[in-house]
């Protein structure tokens, strides 16, 4: 199926808010004292606190969802004062995103509407222009600042947490792609074992074969599970013999759905 405007707006917005929810959950679980005190934390004294980052990210997303589904946007107004309120606001917007109909959203990609681009300044912009030049850059920015604030405050989060909201199958190649690579790796391993039994492969050519097989195996991880865990998976894999299947090698691996 071809990539659509819906995929590049609604689906992406869902991913961003799921990540925002996830890092807040990590903060709530690990922060000593009242987790809601984090809402007043800032990256710098001249910047908005966490509460504002959450308000702006959710409001922009709500504005986009409303525009692309032909309705009036809900105005949240004030900042969330507790993490529970922040979670509730995120869930409200996620529910609206879930209800967005693909055909309606896609039909609004080229539709021109008056758009505020500054105080008292309104210009006609298409839905696509509004999404990709105004809303999504802003939402990503405020997600990043929220992440940075939490990290500054000592919350143990990393790149894997940042990718938490992205569905795993977005990163995975087609099953036949990695199946072919696994098969190549298995054949190379069998050849090494056969050569070892026959006393072959002590020269440069066997060294090249071993290196090639190692590269093939690492490609498997890089193309699949590594895409969602980033660095740690490859580091762990480098010191272990590759298993027959990805599920054996990485229990958390989920196969991409067949289309």
CATH number for the domain harbouring residue 152? 1.20.120.450
Pairing of strands 112-118, 121-126: antiparallel
**Residue 101 pLDDT:** 97
Residues 183 and 245 in one domain: yes
Q: Does 20 share its domain with 121?
A: yes
What confidence score (pLDDT) does residue 148 get? Answer: 98
Q: How far apart are the first and last CA of the chain?
A: 9
- Whether residue 194 sits in one domain with residue 158: no
Q: Pick 139 or 230 by higher pLDDT.
A: 139
Query: Going by C-beta distance under 8 Å and a sequence separation of 6 or more, which residues neighbour residue 217?
Result: 185, 237, 242
For residues 58 and 47, what is the distance between their CA atoms, to the nearest angstrom? 18
Question: Does 254 map to a domain?
Answer: no
Higher per-residue pLDDT: 27 or 189: 27
Structure confidence at residue 53 (pLDDT): 98
- With bands split at pLDDT 50, 70 and 90, how would you rate the model's confidence at 187? low
Same domain assignment for residues 129 and 180: no
Do 61 and 137 lie in one domain? The reply is yes
Cα 127 to chain centroid, rounded = 23
What was the pLDDT predicted at 191?
72
What is the count of structural domains for the chain? 2
pLDDT at 180: 55
Average pLDDT over residues 199-221: 48
Are 162 and 174 members of one domain?
Answer: no
For residues 136 and 132, what is the distance between their CA atoms, to the nearest angstrom? Answer: 6
The pLDDT value recorded for residue 167 is 74
Cβ-count burial of 118 within 10 angstroms (0-12 exposed, 13-18 middle, 19+ buried)? exposed
Instruction: Give the tens place of pLDDT for each residue, 94-140.
Output: 999 999 999 999 999 999 999 988 899 999 999 999 999 999 999 99
Tell whether 47 is covered by a domain.
yes
| Token pair in block for residue 102 | 């693909």
pLDDT tens per residue, range 146-184: 999 999 999 999 999 999 898 755 555 545 554 555 555
Q: Which domain holds residue 232?
A: 169-249
Q: Where are the beta strands (DSSP E) in the chain?
A: 112-118, 121-126
Which range scores top for mean pLDDT: 79-93, 174-188, 241-255? 79-93
Asked if residue 222 is part of any domain, the answer here is yes
Own/partner pairs for 149-152, CB < 8 Å, 24+ apart? Answer: 149/38, 149/41, 149/42, 149/43, 149/49, 149/50, 149/53, 150/23, 150/24, 150/26, 150/27, 150/38, 150/41, 150/50, 152/41, 152/43
- Has residue 215 got a pLDDT over 60? no
pTM of the full structure: 0.66
- Higher-confidence residue of 201 and 212: namely 201
Q: Are residues 136 and 195 in the same domain?
A: no
Task: Find the mean pLDDT for residues 6-20.
Answer: 97
Residue 44 CA to residue 114 CA, distance in Å, equals: 34
pLDDT at 58 over 60: yes
């Amino acid at each position: 199926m071809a990539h659509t405007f819906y995929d590049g707006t609604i689906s992406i917005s869902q991913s961003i808010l799921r990540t925002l929810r996830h890092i807040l959950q990590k903060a709530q679980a690990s922060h000593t004292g009242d987790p809601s005190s984090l809402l007043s934390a800032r990256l710098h004294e001249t910047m908005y606190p966490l509460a504002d980052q959450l308000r702006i990210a959710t409001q922009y997303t709500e504005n986009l969802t409303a525009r692309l589904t032909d309705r009036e946007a809900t105005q949240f107004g004030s900042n969330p004062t507790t993490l529970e309120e922040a979670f509730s606001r995120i869930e409200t917007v996620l529910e609206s995103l879930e209800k967005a109909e693909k055909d309606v959203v896609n039909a609004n990609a080229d539709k021109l509407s008056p758009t505020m681009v500054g105080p008292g300044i309104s210009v006609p912009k298409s839905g696509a222009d509004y999404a990709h030049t105004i809303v999504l850059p802003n939402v990503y920015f405020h997600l990043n600042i929220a992440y940075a604030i939490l990290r500054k405050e000592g919350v143990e989060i990393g790149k894997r947490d940042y990718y938490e909201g992205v569905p795993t199958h977005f990163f995975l190649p087609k099953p036949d792609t990695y199946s072919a690579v696994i098969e190549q790796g298995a054949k190379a391993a069998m050849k090494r074992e056969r050569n070892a039994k026959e006393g072959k492969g002590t020269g440069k050519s066997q060294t090249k074969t071993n290196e090639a097989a190692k590269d093939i195996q690492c490609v498997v991880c890089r193309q699949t599970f590594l895409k969602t865990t980033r660095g740690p998976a490859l580091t762990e894999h480098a010191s272990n013999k590759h298993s027959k299947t990805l599920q054996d090698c990485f229990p958390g691996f989920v196969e991409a759905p067949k289309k």
